[in-house]
Structure 1
Amino acid sequence: MMKKTIFISLLMILGSCKEKNDSSAFAKAEKQQIAQQFNDWLEVQFQQDLSRDPEMQTSMGIKTDYGKWTDISSERELEDRKLAESRLAYLKDTIKSAALEGQDLLSYKLYKNLQEQAIEDYEYRLYTYPVNQMHGMHAEVPAFLINMHLIDNEEDAEAYISRLEGIEPLFSDLVEGLQLRESNGILLPRFVYEKVLKDSRNLLMGEPFENSNQKSTLLADFEDKIAKIKLSKSKKAELMKSAKMALVQHVKPAYENLILALEDQQQRATIEDGVWKFPKGKEFYEYALKRTTTTDLSADAIHEFGLSEVARIHEEMKGIMKQVKFEGSLQDFFAFMRDDDQFYYENTEAGKAKYLKEATAHIQTMKAKLPELFNTLPEADIVVKAVEPFREASAGKAFYQQPASDGSRPGTYYANLYDMKAMPTYQMDALAYHEGIPGHHMQIAIAQELDSLPEFRKHLFHTAYVEGWGLYSELIPKEIGFYKDPYSDFGRLAMELWRACRLVVDTGIHSRKWTREEGIKYYTENTPNAESDAVKMVERHIVMPSQATAYKIGMNKILELRNKAKTELGEKFDIRVFHDVVLTNGSLPLSLLEGLVDEYIESKN
């Protein structure tokens, strides 16, 4: 059971929490007043951000602006920068940071860092691909409606219809943003257009867009949802008529205009994939690496670290080969693991259902062992689902969706079962631990449930911390007896190897001018994964520069800090307390996490 107020003794040792001996009672009262002023101000800022972000409201289970979309216009981006500048000025000029201690001082550092990043981000605001095969708006908008927009009553249904109508102006801003990027020398890579166009056209298939026995993706979702609420037949029929009208009059032209814009840009797209091709591309990539890893590691340092980790993991894999008495080279073993039918379920509905059932079982088994590793557990539940058909062809292998803050929606581990040959059973354990428990679900759900932190800290996402924890979570189960099957342990190593290769390929593409084909070749020669995995991963590197470096860099830092604590504390080291230090402060830059662990060590010595 989650303990909402996390161990007072622990909080006293975190975030520079040593109390100073104040000779004056007035000084102590003044500090309390400044801390209260600061926290009150933080809450006002969070509520302001929330009021400007209807999609975040929905993700938290709030229905205040249930029929609206979050503004993505250029005007809004400028407003955001100005807001960050005013907040930064307030922090520097009004809040006496020297009077803050403990979690208040940590909140100050975090919030100041966020504003500085927001200001710096503005310079590179066009260096993104708002439509891409991974997380493009063309697919995320319908996915949001399907997975986030619950319909509990007539008002919720009307809000859904309002959002359907709002897709047209939303996509108008999206197209404007794509055209603005091109005018600044930034176009999607050529291969992306075909994938995005296919997904966009898929959304316009079925009723009411065409005369068909099949309902379109969004109409089917709406009909299914209103069928489950108590309304008269005539009211449901009225709502269905309004939804069809919104789809035809607003959603269809929205996608058609997006498709036309993409087809136009496609003619001028190039096969050069790295961000080095952009104006100030080198500077952008350096900033992206710094932003993603929350370190000052250079592209060259990350590349070399990746190469050394690939070599280390290869040696561990050779140990597994000996264990299972496999005759041949490591490449032969890769081919065996990649091609042998024993490691795959059938690419049928029955095979996919079996995968989901067993992935759920792995998570449930791990749940029972959590008290051995953690003092703090999440209240929110987690479910396992397959990625929806309309986006499975281009979506990633697996991902996690956070639960609603109010408990109305569980966390969700999405497994992409489009190609069962890309989902080997020997990787099932590690994948479930990463996306579910003790991985993303533990970290994100716990952060959302912390009563002791300001609200903004419950929703931060530092990629190296979040994904570093996810990869670290693949290792933790081995330390308490999981992965007894050597093939599943090979799967764990294969997934870590995959993340080590990411360091090499991401920097190769964006810093060393590798081609898409060179990146794919590196994966196929150094990992047991299917070629389709390699293609998707390289294409992900291309559209999300630096993002994939977060996993191994973050995991390495967490392990480094844990080893340091174990070495210095000896018998006084408690893995559960260490995990509290890591998890009960919300998402952090790695530098701040390191400071907290150092203070934890010092407090125990």
Structure 2
Amino acid sequence: MRLLLLFLVLLTLPVLAQTESEKANALFERAYQAHLERNPEEMSRLGMKRDYGKWTDRSDQFDQEELELTKKFLAELRQSVDPKKLDPQTRLSYDLFVRESQQDIEAFPYRYHNYPVNQMFGIHAEIPTFMANVHSVGSLDDARAYLSRLHGIKPMLAQVRQGLVERERRGILPPRFVFARVLEDCNNILTGAPFEGDGVNVFYGDFEQKVKKLELDEPIRKELLAEARQALLEDVGPAYRDLIALLEQQQARADDRDGAWKLPDGDKFYAWALRRTTTTEMTADEIHNLGLAEVERIHGEMRAIMKKVGFKGTLSEFFTFMREDPRFYYPNTDEGRQQYLSDATAIVNRMKGRLDELFITKPKADMLVKRVEPFRERSAGKAFYETPALDGSRPGYYYANLYNMADMPRYQMEALAFHEGIPGHHMQLSLAQELTGIPKFRKFLHPTAYIEGWGLYCEQLPKEIGFYQDPYSDFGRLAMELFRACRLVVDTGIHSRHWTRQQGIDYYLKNTPNSPGECVKMVERHIVMPSQATAYKVGMIKILELREQARQRQGDKFDLRKFHEVVLTNGPVPLDTLQKLVEEQLP
């Protein structure tokens, strides 16, 4: 009888454990859906057409409600789920959910410590970008939802203005240089018919092209276009002009202090931002010193390439040569820009053909190379990646900023395409979206050191299978890594050591071959995105360290493809979590 009872107890144990895991996963799904349903823009990015005509709320009340929702689900998880009874994958989800929730709660007091209208990713420029690239129009309902969003820009930007006023009340204003950049963008958005200026407005042109492709009776098409003109003149135009007026007023009150130290509790905020960005406990001083050491190391590797190509002179003179010799640059013409896009696409395609040598699981979604739109290219970053829609209706995009071709040298093309595209962010983020067997919230986590560390690691990875045959291209790879090492120095210099904008620019010009324009843009990026730029080198160094440790543990059994499988198929994770996964799965 005892044996029978013991047998029955043993039979029930897996059921109990599975039940606990099912309970946890159901809660993760409810929490994810609860937040998602409050974010129409994110639903659109995922290819969903629920609340397709709405914008996400940008009020402080909305932020307060989001905080309470986060606290509610965290408390429910802790009260209703015993982590000791979870299977390993669900226990990992539990730990990540708790960590992410706690970080969101810790972040709440700093919700105003940012500049929502900035030259890098400001809402003023994100609106037309979102409408052009995310809001697809495949039906009459979709077209009407587009119009609804045009009408909704006015109340949405009113919320943005309220937030800017509240920030100024708290002593938070961007440095003076930001205003000239964003005001130019805003004015560019209000050019072209039905506004003044040549050509067609960015919104109207996009909507007109999308509506043309629909099978509609001509009177309905004309009605839609007439309403678009009305929405632009009565809602979009006034909304942007009100924003411009406020920005001009704030510009007159702004100063030239650049660092996060100027914000309320600025030093405390920056220390928190570094912890969240790097997913480590590294201090500003430790990060600064790491950057200095990496700059010195990479300079040494660059001198070896100087010797290889037979250049006579100092490293500084070699930098000048790389900046100024016309052979390294495309013409600053439409033909030059088109050639850049074609050549970048060819690099991506060559890499696609070699992926089986490096990866086991590969994403299904395609990726295209695309030029940053003219209305935002002067202020936007050098290059970036946009994830595909979940349903496959939109591919991933590697965006190249071709405003000034002097900022996009030929010798950096390979490294840039590998970072932003394949095998970099597309392999990583597209694959994360396609993963099965993990809760949805894990697919869309964004631990910056993991995300950008992988991108930088993927600049180096192709060299191991024969890319970068041209020594100048290999120099370009090192130049991009050097730029990221300098970021460790300059970010901490500006935000912790009270460096000025000009000090940061001078450091880049002295220590990198990058163009003056690119150095200025990078420093201005540091200023509006404290800590973000430290993620790249910190993450890359950790991934390389984990790879070498796994190689030493496994010896001849080590398979680089399996290492990449562990790194990519658990979804985005903090660096300490990644270390545990690699140690457990590659013993």
Aligned to 2:124: 138
CA contact (8 A) 2:344 2:414 kept: yes
- CA offset at residue 36 of structure 1? 0.6
Aligned to 1:184: 170
Matched, 1:364 2:345: no
Aligned pairs for 1:506-545 (under 5 A) are: 506-545=491-530
SS in 2 for 1:174: helix
Matched, 1:316 2:281: no
Matched, 1:57 2:43: yes
Aligned to 1:468: 453
SS in 1 for 2:384: strand
Matched, 1:355 2:352: no
CA contact (8 A) 1:466 1:587 kept: yes
Residue identity in the other structure for 1:177: G
Correspondent of 2:144 among 158, 161, 174:
158
CA distance in 2, matches of 1:44, 1:568: 40
- CA RMSD in angstroms comes to 1.1
CA distance in 2, matches of 1:54, 1:46: 13
CA distance in 1, matches of 2:91, 2:239: 46
- CA offset at residue 278 of structure 1? 1.2
CA distance in 2, matches of 1:85, 1:234: 51
Residue identity in the other structure for 2:537: K
Higher mean Cα deviation, 165-174 or 213-222? 213-222
Aligned to 2:327: 342
- CA offset at residue 554 of structure 1? 0.4
Aligned to 1:105: 91
Correspondent of 2:388 among 403, 407, 410:
403
- CA offset at residue 545 of structure 1? 0.2
- CA offset at residue 232 of structure 1? 2.0
- CA offset at residue 101 of structure 1? 2.3
Matched, 1:236 2:240: no
Unaligned runs of 5+ in 1: 1-20
Aligned to 1:278: 263
Correspondent of 1:566 among 538, 551, 568:
551
Residue identity in the other structure for 2:469: K
- CA offset at residue 421 of structure 1? 0.4
Can you list the C-alpha shifts for 1:50-73, whole angstroms capped at 9, x where unaligned?
211111111111101110011111
Correspondent of 1:217 among 202, 207, 210:
202
Percent identity between matched residues is 55
Can you list the C-alpha shifts for 1:296-345, whole angstroms capped at 9, x where unaligned?
00000000000000000000000000100000000111011111000001
Aligned to 2:28: 42
Aligned pairs for 1:248-327 (under 5 A) are: 248-327=233-312
SS in 2 for 1:24: helix
How many residues of Structure 1 are paired with residues of Structure 2 in the alignment? 581
Residue identity in the other structure for 2:136: L
Aligned to 1:18: none
Aligned to 1:9: none
CA distance in 1, matches of 2:575, 2:238: 45
SS in 2 for 1:173: helix
Aligned to 2:574: 589
Aligned to 1:200: 186
- CA offset at residue 23 of structure 1? 7.2
- CA offset at residue 26 of structure 1? 2.1
- CA offset at residue 188 of structure 1? 1.1
- CA offset at residue 225 of structure 1? 1.1
Correspondent of 2:407 among 413, 419, 422:
422
CA contact (8 A) 2:27 2:77 kept: no
TM-score (norm 1): 0.95
- CA offset at residue 228 of structure 1? 1.5
- CA offset at residue 422 of structure 1? 0.4
Aligned to 2:64: 78
Aligned to 2:4: none
Can you list the C-alpha shifts for 1:546-577, whole angstroms capped at 9, x where unaligned?
00000000000000000100111110110000
CA contact (8 A) 2:18 2:87 kept: no
CA distance in 2, matches of 1:44, 1:23: 31
Aligned to 2:315: 330
CA distance in 2, matches of 1:209, 1:320: 53
CA distance in 2, matches of 1:485, 1:469: 24
CA distance in 2, matches of 1:472, 1:601: 19
CA contact (8 A) 2:117 2:123 kept: yes
Unaligned runs of 5+ in 2: 1-6
SS in 2 for 1:164: helix
CA distance in 2, matches of 1:89, 1:51: 20
Aligned to 1:549: 534
Higher mean Cα deviation, 228-237 or 542-551? 228-237
Can you list the C-alpha shifts for 1:231-259, whole angstroms capped at 9, x where unaligned?
12221111100001011111011101111
CA distance in 1, matches of 2:435, 2:532: 27
Higher relative contact order (CA 8 A, sep 6+): 1
Aligned to 1:497: 482
Aligned to 1:5: none
Can you list the C-alpha shifts for 1:423-476, whole angstroms capped at 9, x where unaligned?
000000000000000000000011011112111111111110000000000011
Residue identity in the other structure for 1:98: K
- CA offset at residue 94 of structure 1? 1.1
Aligned to 2:583: 598
Matched, 1:246 2:227: no
- CA offset at residue 373 of structure 1? 0.6
- List structure 1 segments (4+ residues) > 4 angstroms apart after TM superposition: none
- CA offset at residue 27 of structure 1? 2.2
CA distance in 1, matches of 2:513, 2:454: 24
- CA offset at residue 25 of structure 1? 2.3
SS in 2 for 1:385: strand
